[in-house]
Amino acid sequence: MTTMPTDPAPRALHGVPSYLDKNNLGPWEIYLEQVDRVTPYLGKLAYWAETLKRPKRILIVDVPIHLDDGTVAHFEGYRVQHNTSRGPAKGGVRFHQDVTLSEVMALSAWMTVKNAAVNLPYGGGKGGIRIDPRNYSQGELERLTRRYTTEIGLVIGPDKDIPAPDVNTNPQTMAWMMDTYSMNVGRTATGVVTGKPVQLGGSLGRADATGRGVFVTGAQALIKLGMPLEGAKIAVQGFGNVGYAAARIFQDHGAKIVAIQDVSGTIFSAGGLDPYAVQAHLQATGSVLNFEGSDALTKAEFWQVPCDVLIPAALEKQITVDNADQIQARVIVEGANGPTTPAADDILRGRGVTLVPDVLANAGGVTVSYFEWVQDFSSFFWTEDEINARLDRIMAEAFNSLWAVAERHGVTLRTAAYIVACTRVLEARALRGLYP
C-alpha cells in the first residue's frame, strides 16, 4: 500500500478545470463545498481528498439524428464517471433542455457519495442530453437514445458503467439503450442498464424504489424525533415518479398529503390531497391545478405551507437562502439530487430543521438497481416482497448508522453521510494506490 505522510502538508489546489467557468461553476460548486466541509473529519485520508474533486472520466458527444421532417438535428450529450475505486460507475441518464457539464459532473459525484453511503459496490456516474423531450416524437427520442448509446458505448458496460433512468427517461429508454448496446457487442447484455422493463430483465419494485426510500428514511427521522407518522402533514414538490411514489406510500401509512407542486402549479388542502386522485386528474388534464377540493398557491407560497415533512423531489437548487427561513417543516427529505444549497443548509440547521440528505434519502432507486444488476448476472429473480424487504432493511440501517455518526460528531446528517461515504471511497483509493 502507498505510504502516506503522518501529517500531510498543505498542498496547493490545482484550481478550476479549464472546461468550467471559474466565475460560475454551477452545481459542481455545491458539491465542492460539501467535500470541503467534510475534509476535516477524514483524518489521514484527507491526503487523498483531491481525488474527490476531479471526475475520473468525462465524455462529451455529438448526437445527430434525422428528425421526422427530414432534417438533421444535433444534440449535446454527456457521460461522466466520477469515481470507480469501489466498483463500476452507476448513475442515471437525463433528457433536459438545461443539462450542463457542471450539472452532470455534480450528479455523478453525488452518485459516488450515495453508493458509498449505503455501501453498494459502485462508483458514481451520470449522463445527460440537452433536449426538451416534450418537443419531439417517440420515434425521434428512440433515434436519439440509440445514437447516444452508441456514442458512449466506449465507456459503458455491465462491468464498467451501468446507466439507469433519470429526469425524462424511463424503462422504455433503458430498453432502447440495452438493445442498442447488445446489438453493438453481438450478444444480449441485460446488465448494461437498470430500470428496464421486467420483461427484459428489469426488477420488480424498481419503479417505486426511490420514492419508497424517501418514505423509509423520512419515517425513520420521525421516529428519532418522537413525531408520529399517523396524521403527519406532508408537502411534496415534484409529482413525477419519485414525488408521486413517496406521496402514495406516506398516505398508505397514515400520513396526510397537504400540498403538491409540479411544473403546472401548486395545490393545497388542509384536509388532505389523495395522491392517487391527483395523479388521475393530472393525466386527464395535464395539470394538478383545479383539483377538486384544493386551493391554488403561488410557487413561493408552497415553501410556507404548514407541514411536518417537506419532500423536494424536483431539481437542484430549490431550497436557497431566499426561502429556507420560510419553511415550516420539522423534517426535510430530499427526493431530488442537490435541492438544497450549502447556505440554505446552514439556515435550516440553525432553525432546528432535520434534513435527510439526497445521498441517503433517494438512494432507494440505486439500491434496487443494484438488486436488478445482481439478478441479471445470476438469472435468478426475486419477488417484489423480497425486494421491498431488502430495500427497507438497507435504507433503515443506513439511516440509523448515519444518525449515530451525526450525533457522535455533532454534525448534520449530510455531513455524516459524507464522512461515511468519503471515508469508504478514500480507503479504497489508498488501498489500491496509484497506477503506475
* Residue the block writes with cell 427529505: 333
Rounded to an integer, the average pLDDT of 373-377 is 96
| Residue 241 marked as a ligand binder | yes
- Residue count of the chain: 436
Q: Does the annotation list 233 as a binding residue?
A: no
Q: Do the annotations mark residue 210 as ligand-binding?
A: yes
How much is the pLDDT for 17? Answer: 85
Reported as type and span, the H/E element at residue 423 is helix 413-432
Q: Is the per-residue pLDDT at 243 higher than 80?
A: yes
- Residue ranges matching CATH 3.40.50.720 in the chain: 208-361
Residue 14, pLDDT above cutoff 80: no
Q: Is 90 annotated as a binding residue?
A: yes
Question: CA-to-CA distance for 259 and 90, rounded, in angstroms?
Answer: 33
What DSSP assignment string belongs to 325-382?
Answer: TT---SEEE--SSS-B-HHHHHHHHHTT-EEE-HHHHTTHHHHHHHHHHHHHHHT---
Residue 11 reports pLDDT greater than 90: no
Q: Percent of the chain having pLDDT more than 90?
A: 89
Q: What is the CATH number of domain 53-189?
A: 3.40.50.10860
Task: Give the residue-averaged pLDDT of 180-204.
Answer: 97
Q: What is the pLDDT of residues 81-123, one digit of tens each?
A: 999 999 999 999 999 999 999 999 999 999 999 999 999 999 9
Average pLDDT, the chain: 94
Give yes or no for residue 180 having a pLDDT over 90: yes
Q: Is the pTM of this model over 0.75?
A: yes
Domain boundaries for CATH 3.40.50.10860 within the chain: 53-189
| pLDDT range class, residue 12, cuts 50, 70, 90 | very low
In percent, the amount of the chain with pLDDT more than 70 equals 97
- Around Cβ 101, how many Cβ atoms within 10 Å? 20
The CATH number corresponding to 208-361 among 3.40.47.10, 3.90.1150.10, 3.40.50.720, 3.40.109.10 equals 3.40.50.720
Average pLDDT over residues 43-51: 95
Phi and psi (nearest 5°) for 104? Answer: -65, -35
Strand 256-262 vs strand 295-297: parallel, antiparallel, or unpaired? unpaired
Q: State residue 213 phi and psi, 5-degree precision.
A: -65, -40
Query: Model confidence at 317, in pLDDT bands (50, 70, 90)?
Result: confident
Mean pLDDT of 157-167: 96
> At residue 404, does pLDDT exceed 80?
yes
Task: Judge whether 309 and 333 are in contact, CB under 8 Å.
Answer: yes
Please give the pLDDT value at position 221: 98
199: pLDDT strictly greater than 70: yes
Mean pLDDT computed over 136-141: 98
Q: Is 126 a catalytic residue?
A: yes
Q: Which residues of 341-361 are buried (b: 16+ CB within 10 A; e: fewer)?
A: bbebbebbbeeebbbbbbbbb
Angle at the Cα of 377 from the Cα atoms of 376 and 379, rounded to 5 degrees: 60
Task: Name the active-site residue from 44, 53, 56, 126.
Answer: 126
Q: Which 3 state secondary structure label does DSSP give 409?
A: helix
